[in-house]
Amino acid sequence: MNIHEYQAKELLKAYDVPVPVGGVAYSDKQAAQVAEDIGGSKWVVKAQIHAGGRGKAGGVKLVHSIDEVKKTADAMIGSTLVTHQTGPEGALVHRVWVEQASHIKKEFYLGLVIDRVTQRITVVASSEGGVDIEDVAKAAPEKIIKEVVDPAIGLRDFQCRKIATGIGLKGRLMPQAVKLMKSLYRCMRDKDALQIEINPLAIVSIGEEEKLLILDAKFNFDDNALYRQRVITDMRDLAEEDPKEVEASGHGLNYIALDGNIGCIVNGAGLAMASLDAITLHGGRPANFLDVGGGASPEKVTNACRIVLQDSNVKAILVNIFAGINRCDWIALGLIQACKHLQIKVPLVVRLAGTNVEEGRKILAESGLAFITAENLDTAAAKAVAIVKETVL
């Protein structure tokens, strides 16, 4: 689950992390009022969508008058912003964040992520912050600093100083950096976040003083922990999420929409990724990632089929089950139930293996329905791609 920048900054303020003074606005008049309340002579107006790359796409504007704040907000709200993360369809802007403009002296990148190898929170930092951090990671990986946190003792001061020194922070900025990093770590741990991305973390001038300030923040949370994070779930913006993904989570399904035409129903994230790769290898395009998880009942399989078929681009469905906790006979019964209740008209390619596989195959064979079966993933993917290509032609 993601949240908007304005929500991230409100969350960080609760942990005493320094962020600019600002406010969210849903109209041009409200944006102008926020700017007046903030005061000053310069403001930044930012489109609020669940995607990065807003600056390059025109979603972040520096303005110099209240009238300009109003005009900029009016142009942004209701517009569709297209970035490298939204895809060509873009994302509709429902609100903007108006904040006090900062006098930036230097920008940095700071992130906290779950390292899948060490299974620990890892702090990632770079002296090259800003909109082109992805290019820095590719062209100059030596400028990326990493520090793994031991969960038994947490993020230590010496680790924070090591990171700060590595990106060029020193003097009076050092204790600020230590406090900021430890607060971010505490927030990530407390709120079950999978990722906190600060880009940029900036040195700003406030009179004669230099101060560290978080100018943009992005969070990603563990969906499996949301049941105990009421504050976070209240921040969920369903308008920004695919309704199919929201519905799937309510049925215990992990669904992510893609842009292809072969629907996928698989158990296990690894096998699901392998299925997507197999489809692509044979020249096809998967329409989704869907992991039914363990213990998939017939009802769960039916719901999976229904959600996949809500995508009008789907021309065939590949069902790839390697049963362990699951049972192939459950899957078979679920597919038959789905075909009867949903009146499925697209071809279903089914590959079953594992627990009760022979019983599952027998149920499919005796159902009287036109299932297309396969012994292995490669054959199943090839059949699904061939079917779709023939249908398209």
Q: b/e for 152-170, b at 16 or more Cβ within 10 A?
A: eeebeeebbbebbebbebe
Which among 5, 99, 128, 197 is annotated as catalytic? 197
Residues 259 and 346: their CA atoms lie apart, in Å, by 17
Q: Match 């609100």 to its residue by tokens.
A: 95
Helices (H) and strands (E) in the chain, counts: 13, 18
CA atoms within a 13 Å half-sphere pointing along the CA-CB vector of 136:
17
Per DSSP, the three-state class of 319 is strand
Which amino acid, residue 28?
D
Residues 167 and 110: their CA atoms lie apart, in Å, by 10
The answer to whether 260 touches 254, Cβ cutoff 8 Å, is no
DSSP 25-92: ESSHHHHHHHHHHH-SS-EEEEE--S-S-TTTTT-EEEE-SHHHHHHHHHHHTT-EE--TTT-TT-EE
Which amino acid, residue 366?
E
Any idea how long the chain is? 393
Give yes or no: 26 in active site.
no
Q: How many CB atoms lie within 10 A of CB 338?
A: 25
Residues 23 and 336: their CA atoms lie apart, in Å, by 53
Residues 108 and 254: their CA atoms lie apart, in Å, by 34
Give yes or no: 358 in active site.
no
Which among 5, 99, 109, 128 is annotated as catalytic? 109
As annotated, the active-site residues are: 109, 197
